[in-house]
Amino acid sequence: MNATIESLRDNLCAAFCRDVAVVQRASDFAVSLPIVGRDGDHLTAYISDQTAGWRVSDMGATLMRLSYENDLSKLLTGARKKLFLAVLQEAGLTEVDGEIFIEVPADALSKGLFALGQGATRVEDLGLWTRTRVENTFNDDLRSVLLDIVGVDGFIEGYEVPGISSSENYPVDFYVKTPDIPLYVFGVQHRDKARLTTIILQHLSANNQKFNSMVVYSDVDDIPKIDAKRLMNAANDAVASINDSAVIRSKIAHRLTI
Amino acid sequence: MKLTDVEIEQLLTVPKTVINPRARKKLQNGSEQTNYDLICENGMSFRLYVRQNTRIPNGFSCGLYYITLAGESITLARYNGSDHAHSNPLEGTAPFFMACHIHRATQRYMEAGRKADHYAETTTRYSDLTGALKEILSDCKIDGLTQVDSPTPPIPIDEPQNKLF
């Protein structure tokens, strides 16, 4: 190997610089970076002077790009909103009215550019988190928690309660086998599922079924209060967040020992 | 879902009609956004979106995507402004910097596992959003938008677009 650390570093620096273009604008500089989105478009960072440093901004381009195929008012809600905020926080970025930016000391411009680039590409990936995919992930998480608690033979997924009318239209997410009254567990990640679960529970009750029910929310704060209230009246028990696995475990253990 | 180039061409050129020409423009997260719903004679659904960055005059885009019966969407074409560079990795050519460019869905990029509309070519057919919208309406045979979306403010004359290095 003929390369040395110095020559490799020099080559990398030269190659990187070849892929960077800088354009002067009225009040700032536009810097085209070799950081590429899923559609091949490069990130442009806008840098301007700040007191003792630089302000590095995307000028709102990242969220505008995300809006092409997504309704941001729906995309940036619930779990995705939390992920969005986590991405920004981890990269040290701030978002105001769609603009994502970072302020860095005078000697940390490259750090600011990379922070913006990393944050912007991670934000772009939020577009891949469609509602269906988020729901699948939530269901996977809930299944995994139940597997951990009762084992693979301890529950049936997509259970159709026997002996009731149109049972195929009123499936139970997870039937947890207990020594006494069956426990029906439902995962609820959004308003529509809260309403559907309320309907299913009411249908089962109207058919004189004896059962205990437990609702596990993705995050109860994402459910409109009126829907959560109706579901609270229909279900025996609830866990506010899928992240409360210790609470899920203790509530299920309680039913198993009756 | 993958499309062949023939299917893409058919989808791009089938005559389409805007069914909500008075769609409201909204200001959201730093960009002006309008979405138009389109159908063609055999009932296939499309959407035309129009975006203008409120902070960057040359940051604009209008695109057309096809919505499958299953609700999946595939962008067929996107007419972008000149606020960013673009790379076509399968061609292996150098990126082009700060030029208006048109993205097209291609079978080749889809088969390579890339985003359908990854491929793009530079264009001089427009320089602002109004021009881009005019071109996409014409190229993709979109009818029913009698009033072109409000024009983009021109790039301020005190904002030279000279490349330094």
- pLDDT tens, position by position, B20-44: 999 999 999 999 999 999 999 989 9
pTM over 0.90: no
In a domain, residue B159? The reply is: no
Query: Nearest to residue B23, comparing CAs of B155, B133, B116, B154?
Result: B133
pLDDT of residue B158: 38
Query: Nearest to residue B85, comparing CAs of A52, A45, A74, A6?
Result: A45
**Which among A34, A36, A61 has the least Cβ separation from residue B59?**
A61
Inter-chain CB proximity B117 and A36 less than 8 Å: no
Instruction: Judge contact between A161 and A209, C-beta under 8 A.
Output: yes
CA distances from A219 to A106, A130, A215 (A): 42, 17, 11
Quote helix, strand, coil % in chain B, to nearest 5: 15, 30, 55
- CATH tag, A132-257: 3.40.91.50
Q: Which helix (H) or strand (E) holds B49?
A: strand B45-53
B residues 48-77 near A, CB within 8 Å? 49, 51, 53-56, 59, 61, 63, 65, 73, 75
Note whether A41 contacts B: Cβ–Cβ < 8 A. yes
Note whether A83 contacts B: Cβ–Cβ < 8 A. no
R_g of chain B computed on alpha carbons: 16
Task: Find the Cα–Cα–Cα–Cα dihedral A65, A68, A74, A75, rounded to 10°.
Answer: -50
Q: Which helix (H) or strand (E) holds A246?
A: helix A245-256
Give the tokens for residue A118. Answer: 């990393």
Tell which of A27, A41, A94, A123 to mutate to test the B interface (max B CBs under 10 Å).
A41
Inter-chain CB proximity B85 and A44 less than 8 Å: yes
Q: Which of A3-12, B97-106, B151-160 has the lowest mean pLDDT?
A: B151-160
Q: Which helix (H) or strand (E) holds B40?
A: strand B31-40
Give the tokens for residue A172. Answer: 């139970």
| Closest CA in chain B for residue A30 | B83
Q: What is d(CA A220, CA A224) in angstroms, rounded to the nearest whole number?
A: 9
Per the structure, how many domains does chain B have? 1
Note whether A15 contacts B: Cβ–Cβ < 8 A. no
Give the tokens for residue A200. Answer: 């299913």
CA distances from A38 to A90, A126, B119 (A): 21, 12, 11
Longest CA pairwise span in chain B (Å): 51
Residue in the block written with tokens 């009609």: B17
Query: Which residues sit opposite B64 in a β-bridge?
Result: B48, B77
pLDDT of residue A242: 87
Give the tokens for residue A62. Answer: 């990242």
Chain A residues inside the 8 Å CB shell of B165 = 21-22
Residue in the block written with tokens 């806008």: A46
In a domain, residue B99? The reply is: yes
Query: Which residues sit opposite A91 in a β-bridge?
Result: none
In a domain, residue B156? The reply is: no
Reading phi first (left if > 0) and then psi (alpha if -120 to 50, else beta), residue A123 is in: alpha
Instruction: Judge contact between A255 and A176, C-beta under 8 A.
Output: yes
In Å, how far from its chain's centre is CA A122? 12
Q: Structural domain boundaries of chain A?
A: 5-128, 132-257
Residues of the domain holding B72 = 5-143
User: A with B: how many residue pairs have Cβ under 8 Å apart?
Assistant: 120
Which residues, 6+ apart, have CB-to-CB distance to A10 below 8 Å? Answer: none
Inter-chain CB proximity A60 and B158 less than 8 Å: no
Distance (Å) from the C-alpha of residue B146 to the closest C-alpha of chain A? 22
Q: Which of B19-28, B65-74, B125-134 has the lowest mean pLDDT?
A: B65-74
Per-10-residue mean pLDDT, chain A, length 258: 85 88 91 94 95 95 95 83 93 97 96 96 88 77 90 93 89 92 93 93 90 92 90 93 88 79
CA distances from A106 to A28, A112, B164 (A): 15, 10, 20
Query: Nearest to residue B75, comparing CAs of B53, B33, B103?
Result: B103
pLDDT bucket at B165, cuts 50 / 70 / 90:
very low
| Closest CA in chain A for residue B80 | A41
Q: CB-based burial of residue A53 (10 Å sphere; 0-12 exposed, 13-18 middle, 19+ buried)? A: middle
Note whether B156 contacts A: Cβ–Cβ < 8 A. yes
DSSP 8-state code for residue B147: S
Inter-chain CB proximity A38 and B87 less than 8 Å: no
pLDDT of residue B146: 67
Note whether B123 contacts A: Cβ–Cβ < 8 A. no
CA B93-B95-B96 angle, 5° bins? 115
pLDDT bucket at B2, cuts 50 / 70 / 90:
confident
Per-residue pLDDT at B162 exceeds 60: no
pLDDT of residue A1: 63
In a domain, residue B104? The reply is: yes
